[in-house]
Structure 1
Amino acid sequence: MKLVSYKLGGTPGWGVVVDDRVIDMRQRLPRYHTLLDVLRASAMDEVREAIVDVRPDYRLDELELLPPVVAPEKILCIGVNYANRNDEYKDNSDLPKNPSMFFRTPGSFVGHGAPLIRPPESPQLDYEGEIVLIIGTECHRIAAEDAPRYIAGYTLCNEGTIRDWVRHAKFNVTQGKNFDRSGSIGPWMVTADEIEYGKPMHLVTKVNGEVRQDDTTANLIFDFGYLLSYITIFTTLKPGDMIVTGTPTGAGARFDPPKWLKPGDVVEVTVPEIGTLVNGVEDGL
């Protein structure tokens, strides 16, 4: 299944995508106000049963799409997780022994179709296409081989970054990674049963139709299972938590001169098994 969170006329909802239409699940399963409620209740089978022989209610293009999970407890991002991305830094360093990590706030992300906001403080808005794991079951100190049991589904991220602000302090990227509405997540969550776990996924990021990033998860330094086993050593992952798993080479900062995003640009992040996340760019106040 593909599940979305959205607003319609300012009213929040969530539903199941069927082709280019959406079944409104909030009216059919009213005890679950959000997709996060479904994940916390381990109620995905109820959703599947509730959509049998049901006609969709809305067209996708009628809805304001939100990140699939609204207000998760944690959004944890992984830095430098593709082997050739480590080489991109040109610092002659060995591959890292442990993953780099940082947190992002829900307010730093918009959904599919919404504009990314370039803040007035800096022109250095950059893109980073990534695959996101959405946790379905609480987990702590799990083995890597058990990871598939805890993944509810997958989505996409443009982990928008204000590059000069990630260097405002020593050993700290938090500021540049958390400007309001600077990144995006979506367009929906594809449930884990739809994607073969461990099979490489091909990720492509385009800006105005130009391919900027093109890689597969076969080149991850730390695969999904390792990430969950490592992260759950120090924190308990909860249903709805999202793990943003890293970006390939080709971010705008790595060009000479850099290719920063500007108003009017359109960024597309695609993984065939998941879909395409599309966002334009606007200036903010």
Structure 2
Amino acid sequence: MSRFASFSAGGETFYGAIIEGGAVALSPEFPQWPTLKDVIAADGLHTLAMAARNSEVTHSSFTYEIPIPAPEKIICVGVNFPDRNAEYKDGQEAPANMSLFVRFPRSFTGHGRALIRPKASDQLDYEGEIAVVIGKGGRHIPETEALSHVAALTLCNEGTLRDWVRHAKFNVTQGKNFDASGAMGPWLVPFTHPAQIEDVRLTTRVNGELRQDDRTGRMIFPVARQIAYISTFTTLVPGDIIVTGTPTGAGARLDPPQFLRPGDVVEVEAEGIGILRNTVEDEA
């Protein structure tokens, strides 16, 4: 399985392949593609895979960055699993259309780094999700063709400040965008077959305790539907990220609620992608 990551070492930022023993920096070989976003725009993941063959580790020690450093758009899908809809206890069936909101790149940190619990709130919560990276852009993309527009998959902990998503009547933006409150990574896995997303187990663990556990086959709005719907109102471009929804089991819904605290370890895992692992620290 090919895995491509953005990482930093020695004051420099690279992208490359993750192999046994560390990372292979490939960005110096492809100056025409400064970031993985540029690689995806040029349909270059296969070229990277070929370049990584028989390569030796260049960095055994490095820090993961979010895979796509500056996506034009990060669009998140809310309430996308049946049990998650039932958590609202409003007696309503799943809506006909999906709930969406946007996040900024600065609200995410990389694999192995700390989620930051801000000074403004002690209600930092986790949401384990799979994210899809758009490879071929477009507008009004038919649902039957939508998956052909996906370049890669990654993982997301869509960290949320629960009290701040309720600061206004119908606006969650502020509670979803505190700096480094979420994480993305560790790497991109090239998307080559619908089976990689259609019925995949997705779990979240906190300090080893299983909190979220569901399968993408139970999504109310499958990924192909998400791409078709979103591309109705906005042009998707290479490097855009769609965060596809979280299962039931977030800390706010436990009795009593269990929010993240400094020292906690959160692991989001999906079959065929890997594990996104982060600790938690208070804002300095």
What band does the TM-score fall into relative to the shorter chain? over 0.9
Q: How do 1:77-156 and structure 2 match up within 5 A?
A: 77-156=76-155
How far apart are the structure 2 equivalents of 1:169 and 1:275?
36
What amino acid is aligned across from residue 133 of structure 1 in structure 2?
A: V
Residues 51 and 58 of structure 1: CA distance in aligned 2, closer, same or farther (over 3 Å) = same
What amino acid is aligned across from residue 48 of structure 2 in structure 1?
A: V
State the 1:103 CA deviation.
0.3
Matched residue SS, 2:138: coil
2:10 matched residue in structure 1: 9
- Asked if 1:42 is matched to 2:43, the reply is yes
Residues 20 and 136 of structure 1: CA distance in aligned 2, closer, same or farther (over 3 Å) = farther
Q: TM-score, normalised by structure 1?
A: 0.96
State the 1:195 CA deviation.
6.7
State the 1:198 CA deviation.
5.0
How far apart are the structure 2 equivalents of 1:196 and 1:90?
32
Q: TM-score, normalised by structure 2?
A: 0.97
- Asked if 1:248 is matched to 2:237, the reply is no
Query: Which region of structure 1 is more displaced relative to structure 2, 113-122 or 18-27?
Result: 18-27
Query: Which region of structure 1 is more displaced relative to structure 2, 142-151 or 95-104?
Result: 142-151
Residues 20 and 237 of structure 1: CA distance in aligned 2, closer, same or farther (over 3 Å) = farther
| Structure 2: gaps (5+ residues) | none
State the 1:269 CA deviation.
0.3
Residues 272 and 20 of structure 1: CA distance in aligned 2, closer, same or farther (over 3 Å) = farther
State the 1:162 CA deviation.
0.3
Q: CA RMSD in A?
A: 1.2
2:210 matched residue in structure 1: 211
Matched residue SS, 2:195: coil
State the 1:145 CA deviation.
1.4
State the 1:84 CA deviation.
1.2
How far apart are the structure 1 equivalents of 2:21 and 2:145?
34
Matched residue SS, 1:15: strand
State the 1:31 CA deviation.
2.0
1:172 matched residue in structure 2: 171
What amino acid is aligned across from residue 173 of structure 1 in structure 2?
A: V
Q: How do 1:13-92 and structure 2 match up within 5 A?
A: 13-59=14-60, 62-92=61-91
State the 1:21 CA deviation.
2.1
Residues 82 and 148 of structure 1: CA distance in aligned 2, closer, same or farther (over 3 Å) = same
Q: Is the 8 A contact 1:142 1:229 kept in 2?
A: yes
What amino acid is aligned across from residue 7 of structure 1 in structure 2?
A: S
Deviations for 1:177-224, whole angstroms, at most 9, x for unmatched residues?
Answer: 000000000010100027724540001100000000010011100001
State the 1:41 CA deviation.
1.7
What amino acid is aligned across from residue 141 of structure 1 in structure 2?
A: H
1:181 matched residue in structure 2: 180
Q: Is the 8 A contact 1:195 1:273 kept in 2?
A: no
Q: Is the 8 A contact 2:153 2:273 kept in 1?
A: yes
How far apart are the structure 1 equivalents of 2:124 and 2:197?
32
How far apart are the structure 2 equivalents of 1:12 and 1:144?
37
How far apart are the structure 1 equivalents of 2:149 and 2:19?
25
How far apart are the structure 1 equivalents of 2:64 and 2:93?
41
Query: Which region of structure 1 is more displaced relative to structure 2, 192-201 or 223-232?
Result: 192-201
State the 1:266 CA deviation.
0.5
Number of equivalenced pairs: 283
State the 1:272 CA deviation.
2.2
What amino acid is aligned across from residue 130 of structure 2 in structure 1?
A: I
Residues 58 and 210 of structure 1: CA distance in aligned 2, closer, same or farther (over 3 Å) = same
How far apart are the structure 2 equivalents of 1:255 and 1:34?
40
Identity of aligned residues (%): 49
Matched residue SS, 2:192: helix
How far apart are the structure 2 equivalents of 1:184 and 1:105?
12
How far apart are the structure 2 equivalents of 1:54 and 1:213?
37
State the 1:57 CA deviation.
1.4
2:229 matched residue in structure 1: 230
Deviations for 1:67-107, whole angstroms, at most 9, x for unmatched residues?
Answer: 11111100000000001110111110111110000000000
What amino acid is aligned across from residue 17 of structure 1 in structure 2?
A: I
